[in-house]
Amino acid sequence: MASPRLVVEAVSRAFGPTQALAAVSLTVQAGEVHALLGENGAGKSTLMAIVSGAERADAGQLELDGVPYQPQNPGEARALGVHMVHQEPHLCADLTVAENLFLGSEPVRYGWVRRQSLLAQARQALWRVTSASNPIDPATLVSKLSPSQRQLVAIARALAQPNCRLLILDEPTASLSQADVAALFRAIREVSQAGVSVIYISHFLEEVGQIAMSYTVLRDGVNVATGDIAETSPKELIQKMAGRKLGDIFAHTERQPGPLALRVTDLCGEKLPKGASLELFRGEILGISGLLGAGRSELLRGIFGLTEVRSGDVLVGAFKGGVSPKTQIGKVHRSATPAQRLAQGLGLLSEDRKQEGISQKLSVAENLTLSRLSALGAFGYVSSRRQLAVVADWIARLGIVCQGPLQRASELSGGNQQKVAFARLLYHNVDVLLLDEPTRGIDVRSRGEIYRLMDAAAREGKAVLMVSSYLPELLGVCDRIQVMRHGKLGEARRASALNEHDLLAEAMLNS
Amino acid sequence: MNGYKFLKNPWVGPFLALLVLLLLFSFLSPDTFARSANLTTMLRQTAVLAIASVGMTLVMVQGGIDLSVGSVVAITTVVVARALRADLGLGEVVVLGVATGAIAGLVNGLLVNLLNITPFIVTLGTMSVLRGAAKGLANEQKIDANPRGLDAWMAPVQQGEPWLFPAGVWLAMILAALAALFLAYTRWGRHVVAVGSNADNARLCGISVERVRLLVYVLAGLCAGIAGVLEFSTLTVGDPTDSVGLELEVIAAVVIGGGSLAGGQGSVAGALLGAFLLTTIKTGCTHVGVPNWVQEIVTGVIIVVAMGVDRLRQKLR
């Protein structure tokens, strides 16, 4: 029998006092699609960094097709046919798609790039992964591509390598639409039939069930389970990952709907939305579903004043939070700056945590209090003593895992960064929480905690407006859901009366 | 290719600005400014700045910056003057001058790579070091030397000669064309753009970021050395206090031409237009009789306006 494609044997790795991996083992056969599962911080990233050459193991062995394998850097791993596509793909925005696809291995004659041959090769590489509904022109600059197109280009680049034996995909579908996911899965099946092995990291367990053959679950740097996907249900997988019984991670306690908090009427932006209307009440969570590009983020950003509003009305209810209300009840504010919206009691949680949601270089304390430093001292003075006390309190209340208020935000895990961003809204004491993909890319446990925070906020009488692409989450935590399609919102319906199929059908089908 | 697409080219903005300024000055000073002799004079005055800008374009597209270029030009004039006085052959003198620049570039590149310090700081340091070295080498005074024909490289073309411009102007054009082709069509050139655009990604794709970086600093030093030789041709003395602040003009030229301090963007053609634009403002203002301080204000305004136009253009695409 042929040796397996990849054998990881008792690999360990420590970062300072933290043991990221402790004697982890993993076997992937040729042509196998293997799911690597676990919460953020479970050691998946470290393990894959070792396999792809970005990190080195302290102990243990790796074998690639029966041959000892010790890549010293990503370049060496690539030369041996091991390619990793990161969650936020690294591409050169100022080069064309074709140049990115073959960067470092361009067809050249005497040092001159052969453009026609480059474009032809690129077309072939793209054809494998793109759907007819989302074609990519190899001559366009990457800076002009959407996030999902960039993701596809990065995957196409890995698959285009003639030596590709092992492909590692880290959350490849986080930014993809349904059609693109289908095209990607088709491409994965195709290459796996051709003998390429795929390690697939994802938090979307439904997807994992569709594409993977086998799985390994890591928890706290240790193997906890491995087996066939077909024999394990998503619920069992979640249990193994979290290591505790999770009947239902979606918190949804009894809430009392209160008075109107926000009314949006026929809101139109520069491109999107195109006449969206909604009513949001205190004490409820309203969910916005829909496909990528339907204009959901644009709706939230338009309401919050981050993008220009062309027409339509935004009516904000009276603000009872910690900052003195500057606005009259029922007054119409078509467009406003984010500062004005904050003063009116609105707060936005960005879908782009790394770039926008959190200032990576600032400390936990600075991030948490940034929108309301005025409460920490008079005449522009910021009392660090008060700041630390306030922040220490929030860290304890939300269970933010960090060394302390002064730790840099960039050093926190994704889930804890998100909790800091959420805590900023709570510290500001906003009445209307606009949450854009609040649980994107964070682990199961942090997800559950974010859901509980949302539930608690609604129960306190705050109003929550959540945009999400993850349907079980919308159905699990929302009171009502509206589906967005081509920039317009559909009718609001009770979540309890809906299922995933209803939401998908409304988002995708012509009524 | 429709007309709209044409407008998206990075050099269109500076080109239009240049056109407007040329027309404006021709209108204000038709007898002196709008003459072919003046045009060639302006080209001669641009040559040094243009060649330095070609090198700076490469550095800035790669994501770096080179503040030492003015000092490199100065020390090169001193080296050339001393070499001429030492009775070296003309070829040896030129090679020595150009090599001075290339070595300075090599040192810049090595320091950036080895110490992992930002290029702004490294070249701020070498700017001072080289300026001091130039003064030391020249005993803090100008060095006179018999140019032995080197001055002809930048002298106005004599009546009846067929080649329109002096050698220095042709040299600038050829260098610019080579650099433009290099950047757009060669593997190394594309790697320069790749590193400036996203160095981590370039490294992931097996490109040696350090080698690319070293290459652009050496090429930029080479350009600065050539510019220094031409500067000597113009001055016919070695002057250690020459070209103070040149780096700012050079950076301005690159930025006007569509370059970005963040790397990944910039074009040689744009930088040339930017350099010529700066000369046009200077010469034009002089012809019209505008005092020097107004010229400086106009130059500053043009730089900022060019940036604003560029932002608008980026929004369009």
Residuewise pLDDT in 10s, chain A (511 residues): 578 999 999 999 987 656 789 999 999 999 999 999 887 667 888 899 999 998 899 999 999 999 999 998 888 898 899 999 987 778 898 999 999 999 888 898 988 999 999 999 999 888 878 777 778 899 999 988 887 788 889 989 988 888 889 999 988 887 777 778 888 898 899 889 989 999 999 877 778 888 999 999 988 788 888 999 888 887 788 777 765 444 467 877 888 888 888 889 899 988 888 999 999 999 999 999 987 778 899 999 999 888 888 888 888 876 554 333 444 434 455 567 888 888 888 999 998 888 888 888 888 988 888 888 888 878 778 888 888 999 999 999 888 888 889 888 888 888 899 999 999 999 988 999 999 999 887 877 888 889 999 999 999 989 999 999 888 888 889 999 999 988 899 999 999 898 877 887 787 665 4
Angle at A182 between CA A177 and CA A184, to 5 degrees: 90
CB-CB under 8 Å, A111 with B186: yes
CB-CB under 8 Å, B206 with A75: yes
Q: Which residues of A touch B258 (CB under 8 A)?
A: none
Q: In the β-sheet with A214-219, what is the strand arrangement from edge to edge?
A: A82-85, A166-170, A197-201, A33-37, A214-219, A222-228
CB-CB under 8 Å, B204 with A99: no
By Cβ distance, the residue of A103, A111, A112 closest to B207 is A103
CA distance A172 to A147: 11
For B262, the closest chain A residue by CA position comes to A94
Contact present, B56 and B220 (Cβ < 8 Å): yes
Q: List the structure tokens of B207.
A: 């490109």
Strand pairing class (A285-290; A463-467): parallel
CB-CB under 8 Å, B193 with A95: yes
CB-CB under 8 Å, B196 with A90: no
Measured in whole angstroms, the distance separating CA B110 from the mean position of its chain's CA atoms is 21
Q: What is the mean pLDDT of residues B270-298?
A: 91
Q: Which residues of B touch A271 (CB under 8 A)?
A: none
CB-CB under 8 Å, A99 with B194: yes
Q: Which of 128-167 (A) contact B at CB < 8 A?
A: 144
CA distance B297 to A483: 56
| Cβ atoms < 10 Å from Cβ of B16 | 13
Q: What is the mean pLDDT of residues B124-144?
A: 96
Contact present, A31 and A196 (Cβ < 8 Å): yes
Specify which residues A170 forms β-bridges with: A201
For A114, the closest chain B residue by CA position comes to B185
CB-CB under 8 Å, A78 with B206: yes
By Cβ distance, the residue of A91, A113, A144 closest to B201 is A91
Instruction: Work out whether the CA dihedral A398, A403, A404, A409 comes out positive or negative.
Output: negative
Q: List the structure tokens of A358.
A: 């959190």
A vs B: CB pairs below 8 A: 65
CB-CB under 8 Å, A111 with B207: no
Q: What is the mean pLDDT of residues B16-27?
A: 89
Residue A63 class from Cβ within 10 Å (0-12 exposed, 13-18 middle, 19+ buried)? middle
Instruction: Give the model confidence (pLDDT) of B182-225 as tens digits.
Output: 998 898 999 999 999 888 888 877 788 999 999 999 999 999 99
**DSSP run (H or E) holding B222:** helix B209-235
- Rounded to the nearest angstrom, the minimum Cα separation between B60 and chain A is 13
B199 touches chain A (CB under 8 A): no
CB-CB under 8 Å, B200 with A108: no
φ/ψ of residue A452, rounded to 5: -65, -40
By Cβ distance, the residue of B197, B206, B207 closest to A93 is B197
CA distance B223 to B171: 11
Q: Which residues of B touch A114 (CB under 8 A)?
A: none
CB-CB under 8 Å, B198 with A74: no
- Rounded to the nearest angstrom, the minimum Cα separation between A317 and chain B is 35
B31 touches chain A (CB under 8 A): no
Instruction: Give the model confidence (pLDDT) of A454-479 as tens digits.
Output: 999 999 989 999 999 888 888 889 99
Q: Which residues of A touch B186 (CB under 8 A)?
A: 108, 111-113
- Complete DSSP assignment for A191-254: HHHTT-EEEEE-S-HHHHHHH-SEEEEEETTEEEEEEEGGGS-HHHHHHHHHTS--S-------
- Rounded to the nearest angstrom, the minimum Cα separation between A380 and chain B is 32
Q: Which residues of A touch B192 (CB under 8 A)?
A: none
For A102, the closest chain B residue by CA position comes to B205
CA distance B195 to A90: 12
Q: For an interface test with B, which of A83, A95, A170 has the most B Cβ atoms less than 10 Å from its Cβ?
A: A95
Nearest to residue B191, comparing CAs of B206, B179, B180?
Answer: B206
CB-CB under 8 Å, A105 with B317: no
B315 touches chain A (CB under 8 A): no
A93 touches chain B (CB under 8 A): yes
Query: What pLDDT score was predicted for residue B29?
Result: 87
- Say what percent of chain B tops pLDDT 90: 61
**DSSP run (H or E) holding A369:** helix A364-369
A113 touches chain B (CB under 8 A): yes
* pLDDT-derived band at B48, boundaries 50, 70, 90: very high
Query: What pLDDT score was predicted for residue A252?
Result: 79
Q: Which residues of A touch B198 (CB under 8 A)?
A: 90-93
CA distance A195 to A215: 18
**DSSP run (H or E) holding B156:** none
Measured in whole angstroms, the distance separating CA A422 from the mean position of its chain's CA atoms is 15
In three-state secondary structure terms, A498 is: coil
**DSSP run (H or E) holding A46:** helix A44-51
B196 touches chain A (CB under 8 A): yes
Specify which residues A197 forms β-bridges with: A166
Q: Which of A171-185, A348-362, B51-65, B100-114 has the lowest mean pLDDT?
A: A171-185
Query: What pLDDT score was predicted for residue A1?
Result: 57
pLDDT at B311 over 80: no
pLDDT at B312 over 90: no
φ/ψ of residue A506, rounded to 5: -70, -35
- Per-residue CA distances from A162 to A68, A308, A488 (Å): 21, 46, 45
Contact present, A145 and A97 (Cβ < 8 Å): yes
Query: What pLDDT score was predicted for residue B85?
Result: 94
Q: What is the mean pLDDT of residues B69-76?
A: 97
CB-CB under 8 Å, A95 with B186: no
CA distance A83 to B204: 10
CA distance B216 to B205: 19
Nearest to residue B186, comparing CAs of A108, A325, A187?
Answer: A108
By Cβ distance, the residue of A103, A111, A113 closest to B205 is A103
Q: Which residues of B touch A106 (CB under 8 A)?
A: 187, 190
Query: What pLDDT score was predicted for residue A318?
Result: 63
Q: List the structure tokens of A466.
A: 């959540």
CB-CB under 8 Å, A104 with B193: no
Q: List the structure tokens of A221.
A: 């740097």
Please name the residues in contact with A145: beta carbons below 8 A apart, sequence gap of 6 or more. A97, A136, A153
Query: What pLDDT score was predicted for residue A329?
Result: 37
- Rounded to the nearest angstrom, the minimum Cα separation between B291 and chain A is 41
- Complete DSSP assignment for A280-321: EETT-EEEEEE-TTSSHHHHHHHHHTSS-EEEEEEEE----S
A79 touches chain B (CB under 8 A): yes
Report the length, in residues, of chain B: 317
CB-CB under 8 Å, A93 with B206: no
pLDDT at B93 over 90: yes
Instruction: Work out whether the CA dihedral B251, B255, B258, B264 comes out positive or negative.
Output: positive
CB-CB under 8 Å, B205 with A94: no
Helix and strand tally (H, E) in chain B? 13, 2
Task: Enter the DSSP assignment of A374.
Answer: G
B198 touches chain A (CB under 8 A): yes
B187 touches chain A (CB under 8 A): yes
CB-CB under 8 Å, A79 with B190: no
